[in-house]
Amino acid sequence: MPKIQNLQQLRAEIQVLRQKKIEQELYFSQKKESLQEAVRSPFKFARKMVNFFSGGKANEIQADWTTAMLRFAIPFLLNKTLLKGKGGIIKSAIALISQKAINPSLFNQATISGLVDKVSGWVSNILPGRKKKEVDYGIPPDSETS
């Protein structure tokens, strides 16, 4: 600490100390904000992940039984066929992604049944059709009925 000999030096030293005080307050407030952000960061990440996997929509269309079944069946089918022999991390990541991809607006009972009807109509047009024999079990026209 410098030796103060007169009033001007005292005032200059007071000014220097005030400046140091302002700098230190700024430094510590920045450190405090940085520490708070570091503490909040995992919670923000978790909230973003929950919003991502839940769809993040409050007014989402309610899932019917078809959507629920597909959310279970598609990851199961992928694990048994395409992902056979792959690691657990890959399987769980694919399962999470497919859970997110199957949303009720795209995969519901009406759209799936419409798709099945289109495919069955397409298949019946492609395959050679079998003609049914005409069977009439009604009364023959030349019979005697009164």
Q: Are 99 and 75 in contact (CB under 8 A)?
A: yes
Whether the model clears a pTM of 0.95, i.e. scores above it, the answer is: no
Q: What number is the average pLDDT over the span 85-89?
A: 83
User: Count of domains in the chain?
Assistant: 2
Percent with pLDDT over 70 in the chain: 81
68 and 48 part of one domain: no
70 and 46 part of one domain: no
35 and 67 part of one domain: no
Assess if residue 133 is contained within a domain: no
| The pLDDT value given to residue 61 | 55
| The pLDDT value given to residue 18 | 96
| The pLDDT value given to residue 32 | 94
44 and 73 part of one domain: no
Q: What number is the average pLDDT over the span 24-51?
A: 88
Residue 101 has pLDDT above 90, yes or no: no
Q: Are 107 and 66 in contact (CB under 8 A)?
A: yes
Number of CB atoms found within 10 A of residue 70's CB = 21
46 and 74 part of one domain: no
Residue 63 has pLDDT above 70, yes or no: no
Residue 139 has pLDDT above 80, yes or no: no
Which domain covers residue 41, as residue numbers?
1-55
43 and 75 part of one domain: no
Is the model more confident about 3 or about 67?
Answer: 3
Residue 59 has pLDDT above 50, yes or no: no
